[in-house]
Structure 1
């Protein structure tokens, strides 16, 4: 019996020693967890996943052999073919009747103006870029979506000083309603008079292209407002809607821009809702909201790392406060570095999983490719834009109006429009082609 007891004791001691050895190895692994995780994350996983993600750090390293100019041109040509096929399959007479009935109706929810002008420049004077064709196809598809059909009026606002030379706009005339600032219209448009002047928009002479651009924008706004819709959506001819535009815009208008706290829904007063902001400026920056966003991502990482540590520990092993802090800090560092390397633009794309995840925030000043306005703001805004003592960029002038009137303005992230205008309408040449190589289709 004594011999058996001795053997049993030795066995139990050996088992305890084995457990101690195993736990010692586990602790050693956990000490090196941060190093191992970083090597896997930053040297293997991220380089593989981010090799095709624009704006990511890894994409910048691996994209040296890509001809962005050629790729952007190829993608644009594919979209032009798709847009041409879209209108080829459309019956012009049916489209005319559809929009004619909406334009003559008693209640219009949304009026969409596609502002267009010829692209002129040294490199591509005679080459059609197909921008307005792509935009019109996307907007028409949006207007016929389940959420907006039969209450959305779309028209092409041709502000070219020689509208008969704008071939892309002329191609669209049988399919969509149109108005020309310096010509005729397919629907009844009164001669819109300039504020504080006896002149109409087509009689106004401009000092430079910057002033003309602002007056063009004001003219299209006024035409859209003349239909008395609840909202006006201004779309420049190089902005193609995202496939989520219909559902996200409807949700935002019914929830973010409506006050339901008093029982009866009341529309909030606002200047505009920006639906596009340049991706190159959507990254992390030394701005309080962006810094807090990055810290939040780090805190999520710290929580995940701490949870992992609790899961792998032995039931007899107790994590000290110091060890728990180490796990948390390691997770924070890994997640924040990952976010910086992947870049905020690509992280924002995860919000497209649901319309409830889109970020609603205060709007910055820049850029007007896609802007939604409440009808009430159109008259004071256009009066302000056409009364400026000296010409300004249209987007900056609109933002100055917001500041002076102290009217809130908002933005949705990620963008609900794709910007395709690599070649500027102001004749300033091509923009950086790297920002125009994203792959998407016109629905």
Structure 2
């Protein structure tokens, strides 16, 4: 008789009970979100599991040191280069910042290198520097770059004529000036207006070539007011007011639900995991090929890299001249307000095609910047 122990009883089938699926799922959830994900993701800057107290300060200092080194390398690059032939239509809008980071040199150096590697697809491109420093001659890096790139500068008296001009309206007027000068200088089909702290990614030209040749043939894209090539990583999560992201999130959950009987659990499980680890890291997989890049409706923030079709640029100039910017209504918010107010469309390319490296803002003073 199987009565001596529970084990013997189980062998005889008297007390055996099948483990509840709920226990297994609960164990999987606890192990994933309580142990494995925190251990693996605690250094991922854009993850919910990121340990700010441990890593933010040293990572910020490491980023600043690396960026400062890249600025010196960019300075050395332009000091030693012999000849230059402009190839690309890009306008870099620049203002004097901290000299030791050489932001505009980093941007210009990366564009120049990538253009040299681009080949025949980039032969019709050109580059223009737009110096909006209040005293144009004080911008040391631009003085160096003027030997290699064409440049326009905004006149000092025009901006100082209005003493009530706030820095956000001043920034918008600078933006309008550079966009207008871009159209006058080259009469291009597209204007890529890049701020001087937006370093291009290696694949930017291959992706733009794919957009020009394939995606922009669709009327709803061809007539868009602008295309953002950057959106802050901290705002790329699923918990944001963009309906398309919610559909993407739900689709990801359903795709990863392997058993129909458990589809609800695995959908929620995979959705939670992708959100907490960070949507930004999933978007990075799209860099495998230009055709994988996503073009979705744009949200409000921000303007480090904006692509304007020429006809759309002219409309944007007219719109922006009618608006006055202020704190809480900067140029990015002003541009976004035009979408509903004027019945326009705008889109953002995912993942980002530039890296925003400017931790020292020209508008907001910050003596101890952090990555987040």
Do these two structures clear the TM 0.5 threshold for a shared fold by scoring above it? yes
Q: Structure 2 CA distance, aligned partners of 1:238 and 1:218?
A: 18
Name the residue aligned to 1:154.
127
Q: Structure 2 CA distance, aligned partners of 1:268 and 1:65?
A: 41
Name the residue aligned to 2:295.
360
Q: Structure 2 CA distance, aligned partners of 1:427 and 1:340?
A: 30
Contact 1:233/1:372 (CA < 8 Å) preserved in 2? Answer: yes
Match of 1:259 among 218, 221, 226: 218
> What's the offset of the Cα at 1:39?
4.5
* Aligned positions of 1:24-423 closer than 5 A: 28=19, 32-60=23-51, 63-64=54-55, 66-91=57-82, 94-95=83-84, 98-99=85-86, 111-119=89-97, 127-144=99-116, 145-146=118-119, 148-182=121-155, 205=162, 207-226=165-184, 227-259=186-218, 268-285=222-239, 287=241, 288-303=243-258, 306=259, 324-325=260-261, 327-388=262-323, 392-423=329-360
Q: Structure 1 CA distance, aligned partners of 2:325 and 2:149?
A: 35
User: Could you list the per-position Cα deviations for residues 181-237 of structure 1 after superposition, in whole angstroms to 9, with x for gaps in the alignment?
Assistant: 138xxxxxxxxxxxxxxxx96786462222221111111111111211110000001
Name the residue aligned to 1:312.
none
Q: Structure 2 CA distance, aligned partners of 1:300 and 1:355?
A: 23
> What's the offset of the Cα at 1:286?
5.2
Contact 1:147/1:246 (CA < 8 Å) preserved in 2? Answer: no
Larger-gyration structure (1/2)? 1
Name the residue aligned to 1:188.
none
User: Could you list the per-position Cα deviations for residues 295-317 of structure 1 after superposition, in whole angstroms to 9, with x for gaps in the alignment?
Assistant: 222212212xx2xxxxxxxxxxx
Higher mean C-alpha displacement, 222-231 vs 56-65: 56-65
> What's the offset of the Cα at 1:335?
0.9
Name the residue aligned to 2:3.
none
Q: Structure 1 CA distance, aligned partners of 2:205 and 2:234?
A: 25
Q: Structure 2 CA distance, aligned partners of 1:390 and 1:44?
A: 47
The number of residue pairs the alignment matches comes to 355
> What's the offset of the Cα at 1:165?
0.8
User: Could you list the per-position Cα deviations for residues 392-430 of structure 1 after superposition, in whole angstroms to 9, with x for gaps in the alignment?
Assistant: 522222223333332211111111111111111124325
Contact 2:215/2:221 (CA < 8 Å) preserved in 1? Answer: no
Contact 1:240/1:417 (CA < 8 Å) preserved in 2? Answer: yes
Q: Structure 2 CA distance, aligned partners of 1:425 and 1:130?
A: 13
Q: Structure 2 CA distance, aligned partners of 1:39 and 1:415?
A: 33
Q: Compared with structure 1, are the counterparts of its residues 254 and 146 closer, same or farther at alpha carbon in structure 2 (3 Å cutoff)? A: same
> What's the offset of the Cα at 1:30?
6.2
User: Could you list the per-position Cα deviations for residues 146-170 of structure 1 after superposition, in whole angstroms to 9, with x for gaps in the alignment?
Assistant: 3642211112111111011111111
> What's the offset of the Cα at 1:40?
4.3
Q: Compared with structure 1, are the counterparts of its residues 397 and 30 closer, same or farther at alpha carbon in structure 2 (3 Å cutoff)? A: closer
Structure 1 residues without counterparts, runs of 5 or longer? 1-17, 103-109, 184-199, 261-265, 307-323, 436-443
